[in-house]
Amino acid sequence: MTRLGDSVQRARALLAQDLSADSTVRRLLEETASRRYLELTDLSAKEQAELIASRTVEVLPSVAVLAERIETARGEGRGLHVKLGIDPTAVDVHLGHAVPIIVLSRFQRMGHDVTLIIGDITAKIGDPSGRSTERPPLTDEDIARNLAGYRDQVRPFFDFGRGETEVPPAGGWGTVRFRHNSEWLAGVALPRLIGILAQVPASALLQREDFRTRLEGGHGLTMSELIYPVAMAIDSAEIDADVELGGVDQLLNMQMGRRVMEIYGQVPQMIVAMPLIEGTDGSGAKMSKSQGNYIGLRASAEEVFGKVMSVPDRLMEPYLRAWTEWTDAEIELAAARLADGALHPMDLKRVLAGEVVTALHGVDAAMAAREEFEAQFSRRRFGEVATLPEVELAEHGGEGIAAVLTKILGFTPSASAARRLAKQGGLRLVLEPDGGEQTAFVLPEAEALRPLGEVVAERLAEAPAPGPVGVYLKAGRKLAAVRGGAPAS
């Protein structure tokens, strides 16, 4: 049996157990987390191709051809050369960006050589895919700033240190390299570029739906945007890629890579097109910062856990496929247990949240976030939460609640936002007697403007308790302890 097969066998045994038990969940997270560093060279060429294909939208020309190319490369004593292009267009990276990175890491662990192309030249043009207007060009300073944090942010999903050498490291892993496409694009002379463009029909570029839509709508379309797919394709030819990996929205750009490689007299690359992941709001829109439906790779363990727990149940399966090392067999087992009522959806979602936190912060952080989430939203004992932001009444009791939420706790961006939250019923004062049941007071909009100390005193008078009482201010899903309002446990 392969190393992955052994791991799957152990994980399936855990998945058949009670997934509400912390001890079982910890063992499962430890098992699946270890796969991120599991060498996969003992998989056959067919098994490697099928494992890659299981997380893709499309493999071109086919999965069978990918298996054949893996087998041929093995016979030549090498791995495939796999390319992923990255335009450094943003400072922060979110989990949507991590999807191809995770599959790329599997290629490396299978013994294939990986190159991440940093598009420092193409970023100045801007990828026109799906855009209704031309993107403002980036400066060298923009690119340097955006690229600086990219590597550290994706590091949890990709073991850069294992293979960033000219010689593959011990253990069978492939190499991983960063290249900037300015290395070759900056030196492309005009006659050479014209020679390539002369063999690319304009119809191949204008067939793009986004280009046609813009032209029909009277929007501008610049020559630089038309050249972008060709420039990206030259990257594939210059490094002689065997496989290009990218989002399905990049499919036409990657197909241009096949065309330009033929112009270069090379064997056209294969294409592995990855899905675009739906955002956390369940609206159907893809995950993006502009939609506000994303999970940032720099987010805290508690924030990541909470955001995953807030998604609709229907997103659990695509999220398991996108960000975990679970195999199809394991996902199918969990789905079968859900269908027959042997597994509660909330228990599976807690496992999913733990998987995502584990990838970014480790198992210990995942279990701590799980414990805090359960204390806040399941067991409802806020006093059990290990770390909570605090506000002291002695210092801030005279300030309005909206001001406290905005200036002291940073829970809302403005006082008006705090009032809107109260108007929507999302602002609460919670009293938690030691050993007794909580009492939650919904604070109306008018209360949001009153001094915090006055409101706390009035609510304590309405619900007197014989012993110590914990006082908590809850704004949406955010929670803070109020100190100094009553003797607390």
The arithmetic mean of pLDDT across residues 464-471, rounded, is 78
Checking if the pLDDT of 77 tops 50, the result is yes
pLDDT in tens, 360-389: 999 999 999 998 888 776 555 676 666 788
Specify the pLDDT at position 386.
Answer: 63
pLDDT confidence tier of residue 23, bands split at 50, 70 and 90: very high
State the pTM of this model: 0.74
Range of 142-156, 335-349, 469-483 with top mean pLDDT: 335-349
**What are the residue ranges of CATH 1.10.240.10 in the chain?**
7-36+280-379
- pLDDT for 2 equals 94
CATH architecture observed for domain 56-274: 3-Layer(aba) Sandwich (3.40)
Write the single-letter amino acid at 2: T
Average pLDDT of the chain is: 86
Q: Do residues 56 and 260 touch, judged by C-beta distance below 8 A?
A: no
Asked if residue 61 has a cis previous peptide bond (ω within 30° of 0), the answer is yes
Residues 6+ apart with CB under 8 A from 95: 277, 287, 294, 295, 296, 297, 322, 323, 356
- Residue with the bigger pLDDT between 53 and 290: it is 53
Domain ranges in the chain with CATH number 3.10.290 = 390-483
Burial group, residue 475, by CB count within 10 angstroms (0-12, 13-18, 19+): buried
Distance CA 327, CA 69 (A): 23
Question: Within a 13 Å sphere around the CA of 375, how many CA atoms are in the beta-carbon half?
Answer: 17
Q: What distance in Å separates the CA atoms of residue 136 and residue 450, rounded to the nearest whole number?
A: 46
> Residue range 48-53: average pLDDT?
96
Residue 489, pLDDT score: 39
When pLDDT is averaged across residues 136-151 and rounded to a whole number, the result is: 73
pLDDT confidence of residue 91 = 64
Rg (CA), the chain: 27
Domain 7-36+280-379: homologous superfamily in CATH: Tyrosyl-Transfer RNA Synthetase (1.10.240.10)
Average pLDDT of 253-257?
Answer: 92
In tens, the pLDDT along 238-251 reads: 999 999 999 998 89
pLDDT, tens only, 79-88 = 999 999 987 7
- As a whole number, mean pLDDT of residues 189-212 equals 84
Query: Where, residue-wise, is CATH 3.40.50.620 in the chain?
Result: 56-274
- The three state secondary structure string of the chain is CCHHHHHHHHHHHHHCCCCCCHHHHHHHHHHHHHHHHCCCCCCCHHHHHHHHHCCCCEEECCHHHHHHHHHHHHHCCCCCEEEEEECCCCCCCEHHHHHHHHHHHHHHHCCCEEEEEECCCHHHCCCCCCCCCCCCCCCHHHHHHHHHHHHHHHHHHCCHHHCCCCCCCCCCCCCEEEEECHHHHCCCCHHHHHHHHCCCCHHHHHCCHHHHHHHHCCCCCCHHHHHHHHHHHHHHHHHCCCEEEEEHHHHHHHHHHHHHHHHCCCCCCEEEEECCCECCCCCCCECCCCCCCCCECCCCHHHHHHHHHCCCHHHHHHHHHHHCCCCHHHHHHHHHHHHCCCCCHHHHHHHHHHHHHHHHHCHHHHHHHHHHHHHHHHCCCHHHCCCCCEEEHHHHCCCEHHHHHHHHCCCCCCHHHHHHHHHCCCEEEEEEECCCCCEEEECCHHHHHCEHHHHHHHHHHHCCCCCCEEEEEEECCEEEEEECCCCCC
Domain range 390-483, CATH architecture: Roll (3.10)
Instruction: Summarize the confidence of residues 299-320 as an average pLDDT.
Output: 92
Tokens of 184: 């070759």
Q: Are the beta carbons of 134 and 222 closer than 8 angstroms?
A: yes
Question: Which range among 289-293, 337-341, 445-449 shows the weakest confidence by mean pLDDT?
Answer: 289-293
pLDDT digits (tens, 9 = 90+) for 146-193: 777 777 777 777 666 654 444 444 458 888 888 889 999 999 999 999
For position 135, what pLDDT does the model report?
56
Take residue 468 and report the two structure tokens written for it.
């110590």
| Helix pair 328-339, 316-323: axis angle to 10 deg | 160
* pLDDT over threshold 70, residue 30: yes
Percent of the chain with pLDDT over 70: 89
pLDDT, residue 25, reads 96
pLDDT at 321 over 90: yes
